[in-house]
Amino acid sequence: MSDEPTAPSFRSDVTVELVRSAAADSDVIWSARVSTAGEQSLEALQQDPEKSRGLINFLMRDRHGTPFEHNSMTFFISAPIFVFREFHRHRSGWSYNEESGRYRELEPVFYVPSEDRKLVQQGRPGKYEFHEGTPEQHRTTTGAMEAAYRESYARYQEMLAAGVAREVARAVLPVGLFSSMYATCNARSLMHFLSLRTRRENSAVPSFPQREIEMVAEQMEEQWAQLMPLTHAAFEKHGRVAP
Ligand SMILES: Cc1cc2nc3c(=O)[nH]c(=O)nc-3n(C[C@H](O)[C@H](O)[C@H](O)COP(=O)(O)OP(=O)(O)OC[C@H]3O[C@@H](n4cnc5c(N)ncnc54)[C@H](O)[C@@H]3O)c2cc1C
């Protein structure tokens, strides 16, 4: 095994993988129909959910939220720590497990914004607009970030080599470091997350999320929409408000 320090690497993307799911439009329908059909609502499992598009739309429009909770999706997400810090504010209907900086040596993978990431912020809090950065601003940003990342990771390794505990040494690592986690949710908690962490013209209540958590949200939404297309369409139709 080599004693050479690991060289930092830099990424501009985030990844989201749906690792496990039990989630379908029919789950919404049978759980809603118990209201009127009792145990016979299970028969709805065999029916074509297309026939129940109207029921799903009604539930979404009138914000009958609980039928959207009888399903589960687990995502494996790799993103910078500053994204997870925002992510973990979502408490209701979410379970998280993240890699540990106490039990393992953290890999030197760091976030740098891509060339199309808007760099310049104008306006006031709550009303910010973001504009393209100049090539010079991009060079400054990438240069500053990479230099800071290299320095902090070298100091981290210096402490580990001196026998300092990982949980102490990690204090020098920045929030641009990549981490990974499992996040499990249901369609209702996911819709609440998407309503806050995506920016869309058709949102009844607009939100202004940081671009990097929106990149995660977009990938989650795409994968969820394939599992529950009628629920996703109703979410879109009714202004992207979680029921
Ligand atoms: C654009 C944007 C900017 C933000 N800026 C900041 C910031 O500057 N500083 C900051 O600290 N946070 C900030 N946040 C985080 C924000 O305050 C919320 O913590 C985050 O969006 C999670 O929302 P939530 O509490 O609705 O979600 P969840 O925790 O998932 O809760 C879902 C819903 O459950 C109900 N609920 C959950 N817990 C309680 C409770 N204890 N009491 C009553 N009802 C409850 C509420 O109806 C809530 O909407 C920001 C979020 C966004 C989207």
Q: Is residue 106 part of a domain?
A: yes
Binding-site residue ranges for FAD: 66, 89-91, 98, 186-188, 192
Distance of CA 88 from the midpoint of ligand 1 (Å): 10
Number of domains in the chain: 1
Q: Is residue 233 part of a domain?
A: yes
Q: Is residue 3 part of a domain?
A: no
Q: Is residue 150 part of a domain?
A: no
Q: Is residue 94 part of a domain?
A: yes
Distance of CA 219 from the midpoint of ligand 1 (Å): 21
Question: What confidence tier does 3 reach under pLDDT thresholds 50, 70, 90?
Answer: low
The CATH number of whichever domain residue 19 belongs to comes to 3.30.1360.170
* Choice among 61, 197, 200, 240 that is catalytic: 197
pLDDT in tens, 29-58: 999 987 777 777 677 667 777 778 999 999
**For range 111-119, the mean pLDDT:** 96
Distance of CA 117 from the midpoint of ligand 1 (Å): 25
**Share of residues in the chain with pLDDT > 70 (%):** 97
Q: How many helices (H) and strands (E) does the chain have?
A: 8, 8
Residues with CB under 6 Å of ligand 1 are 89-92, 192, 196, 207-209
The pLDDT of residue 217 is 98
235 C-beta neighbours (distance < 10 Å), count: 25
Active site residue 197: yes
* Domain encompassing residue 187: 9-23+71-113+177-237
The HSE-up count of residue 73 (CA atoms within 13 Å, CB side) is 26
CA distance 85 to 96: 12
Determine which of 42-56, 95-109, 163-177 has the lowest per-residue pLDDT on average.
42-56
The pLDDT of residue 1 is 42
**For range 224-231, the mean pLDDT:** 97
Is the pLDDT at 2 greater than 60? The verdict is no
Beta strand 129-131 pairing with 120-122: antiparallel
**For range 131-148, the mean pLDDT:** 97
Q: Is residue 136 part of a domain?
A: no
Q: pTM of the entire structure?
A: 0.94
Which ligand 1 atom is at minimum distance from the Cα of 92? Answer: 30
Q: Is residue 204 part of a domain?
A: yes
